[in-house]
Amino acid sequence: MLKQILSGVVIGVANIIPGVSGGTMMVAMGIYDKLISAITGLFKDFKKSFKFLLPIGIGMVLGIVILSKVISMMFDVIPFQTNCLFIGLIIGSFPFIVKNVKGHSIKIQHIIAFALFFVLVLGSALLGEKSGADATLVGGIVPMIKLFAVGVIASATMIIPGVSGSMVLMILGYYDSIVSNVSIFIENLLAFNVEGLIEGLMIFIPFGLGVVVGIFAIAKIVEIIFQKFPLVAYWAIIGLIIASPFAILISAGFKGVKIVSILTGVVALAIGAFMGNKLGGDETPQEDAENVAETV
């Protein structure tokens, strides 16, 4: 259970960092397809699905609420090393992903899937600087409908490996507003400011409902893809995982990077790789690569 909570923390932190994909971290830690199955099977086998989702959900909340400020400070003080830490997490878990295609012949559709997602991730990073103007969150029916729609889009992109949900929020112009309101809501909660809590709920209820709808909708689509075209799906994931370190460095840039930064970055990368290897552990996205259909 502790391992699942820690995985949730990593996913939660990744989802609030522009340029870093929470979906990629799910894949990297070997829980992606189990998570998708648990979400889509929540109403069919509630007890089993809830038991799996609960510790991950707790970890995500902890990561977003408690560690978000710590990670933000790390990006302010040691941005290069922090990015290296996340790159290490991805690299350390890569062998667990490759296991799912090992022993199977490489076909043209696999190469196309790999190339498309590789380009998609790099393209997103190159276009990531062009974020929209920050949206002002105010009460009213129309803003609430917009928040619901933003929640659907954000959650759908957060669960897709290689796509940064927070970057999408930045492009839509809602990132700073949502993140700042999370901090304000927590402050009001600690201060028992009822008026402030109500104002916060007017924002987070429609946004949260949109997030739930988006997660369930995209999870079902992803599940069907893994059932029908498993090898194509895994080659697409391999493409995005290989591209992700480059995308993270492109988004971060190299301004102010010195020799000391590179040396400490290597250490951070090694730590991240160790963590990724341990968090990935024996849990692979499929029970066995041999179970993947040869007909794909």
Q: Which of 77-86, 106-115, 287-296 has the lowest mean pLDDT?
A: 287-296
Say how many domains are in the chain: 1
Average pLDDT, the chain: 78
Number of other residues whose CB lies within 10 A of the CB of residue 260 = 10
Closest CA to 207 of 255, 169, 164, 253: 169
Give a yes or no: residue 223 inside a domain: yes
Sign of torsion over alpha carbons 131, 132, 134, 138: negative
Higher pLDDT, 281 or 2: 2
Least-confidence region, from 52-61, 156-165, 224-233, 286-295: 286-295
- Asked whether residue 78 is domain-assigned, the answer is yes
- pLDDT recorded at residue 170: 63
* pLDDT at residue 270, as a whole number: 93
Tell whether 42 is covered by a domain: yes
Residue 293 belongs to a domain: no
Residues 6+ apart with CB under 8 A from 268: 81, 82, 84, 85, 88
- On whether residue 294 sits in a domain, the answer given is no
| 292: phi then psi, degrees, rounded to nearest 5 | -70, 135
Least confident range of 195-209, 219-233, 274-288: 274-288
Q: Cβ contacts of residue 43 below 8 Å, gap of 6+?
A: none
Residue-range definition of the domain harbouring residue 72: 2-286
* Model confidence band, residue 111 (pLDDT cutoffs 50, 70, 90): very high
295 lies in some domain: no
User: Phi and psi dihedrals of 129, rounded to 5?
Assistant: -70, -20
Instruction: Please state the separation of Cα 96 from the chain's center in Å.
Output: 18
Q: Which residue blocks in the chain are alpha helix, DSSP H?
A: 2-15, 22-28, 32-40, 46-65, 67-77, 79-98, 108-127, 141-158, 165-172, 175-190, 194-228, 230-252, 259-280
Is the confidence at residue 290, as pLDDT, over 70? no
Question: pLDDT value at position 19?
Answer: 58
User: Is 261 domain-assigned?
Assistant: yes
Residue 247 lies in a domain: yes
pLDDT digits (tens, 9 = 90+) for 156-190: 767 776 666 776 676 566 766 777 777 788 888 88
The verdict on pTM exceeding 0.85 is: no
